[in-house]
Amino acid sequence: MVSSAITYWDETARRFAAHYETSKGLRWWLRRGIDLRAERALDLVRPGDAVLDVGCGPGRQVAAAAARGASQVVGVDPAPQMLALAREATRDIESVELHAGGVDAIEARPAFDIVWALGVFDYVDDGESLLAAMAARSRVIAVGRRRDALEAVVARCGGGAVAHVADLARAEEVEGLLNAWPDLSMLVNAAGATRCGHFAKLDWPDAERIWAVNARAPLRLCAHHVPRMVERGRGFVLNVASTAAFGPAPGFAAYGSAKACVLTFSRSLALEVEAEGVVVRCVVPGPMATGFRAAAGLAPRGGEGDPEAVADYAVGLLSRPQSWGVPGLVNQARRWTRDLAPDAAWRGLARRQATGR
């Protein structure tokens, strides 16, 4: 946090805290947006959770998290007067500990179930570094077949990330993954595999692998984790489908049908568990610049989407009411084209693929 912001909050700490002591009038009306964000964050807290509040201010949110049953609540704030108020507000709460400074005042260990920073990013000069520091105090399990690629992901995520090498096409390795990490607060199913070619010409092991990675593994992981999320009353699932799920996809029959399965499954599951506090969303991107085409034996082509932009869209989708979404106007056009184009148009594409012309 910039030094001028620390000075400002130090000087206005008691006046700021007084804003929350009234439940009517202009002050109440002006802070409603902040209150709603705070309430939404508190709705995530379940008994036994460990919570980190970055920029805890006078300690209202810290005390509220402890009242929700959190077993450990850690608050950090760089403004001494704010921290003094927080200590005053939580002096009788054994589960609370407070530290002066920023998030770096807390050891980078994957110990927290929930990490939030409410109203803080307007006052920092490097929001990306703050996010990275927050991520280092949570836990991310990165799963994939290639250790080198996983290690690059782990390096980007920081100290809270762990690599788990597994081939999701193999049922026994999926079970090994579940045994190693039986309890997650958020599940992201983004693995993909395909081979280009008419289904009749695919070897069965190749077709089976496409379905195993793209459909069977996500459903198996959801079958394990979603009931546990429902039991806790909290959880997030983000599945990744593809615009190949919309309409015919000659040359990608196995892949397109598997992604259609994921999309329909996600939309149905979202409706089944939304009342239980579990959020299920499905993002449906088009071709992306990830090396996926090369792995499928396809030549590179232009116009592929930016994976970072799709990731940003997917994160935003978690906080929106719709259960699925298609990022970008080009991909939305692909969706409608696949839905509305007559079969005659697809026959021509299938014929060209079969003859190589």
CB-neighbour burial class of residue 89 (10 A; exposed 0-12, middle 13-18, buried 19+)? buried
Give the mean pLDDT of 155-177.
86
Task: Enumerate the domain spans of the chain.
Answer: 3-135, 139-165, 169-355
Q: Which residue has the higher pLDDT, 31 or 181?
A: 181
Q: Rounded CA gap, 229 and 279, in Å?
A: 10
Would you state the pLDDT for residue 243? 86
Q: How far is CA 44 from CA 54, 186, 314, in A?
A: 16, 12, 19
φ/ψ (deg, to 5) at 283: -100, 140
* 3.40.50.720, 3.30.70.2520, 3.30.70.270, 3.40.720.10: CATH of 169-355: 3.40.50.720
Mean pLDDT of 298-319: 76
Mean model confidence pLDDT for the chain: 81
Q: Let me know: does 233 contact 46? Beta carbons within 8 Å.
A: yes
Percent pLDDT > 70 in the chain is 74
Can you identify the CATH homologous superfamily of domain 3-135? Vaccinia Virus protein VP39 (3.40.50.150)
Cβ-proximal residues to 305 (8 Å cutoff; 6+ apart), any chain: 285, 286, 287, 288, 289, 327, 328, 330, 331
Quick check: do 3-135 and 169-355 share a fold? yes
Confidence tier at 197 by pLDDT (50, 70, 90): confident
pLDDT value, residue 357: 43
Residue 145 has pLDDT above 90, yes or no: no
Summarize pLDDT for 82-111 with one digit per residue, the tens.
Answer: 889 999 999 999 999 999 887 777 765 556
Q: Is the pLDDT of residue 132 over 50?
A: yes
Q: pTM here?
A: 0.70
In the predicted structure, residue 310 carries a pLDDT above the cut 90: no
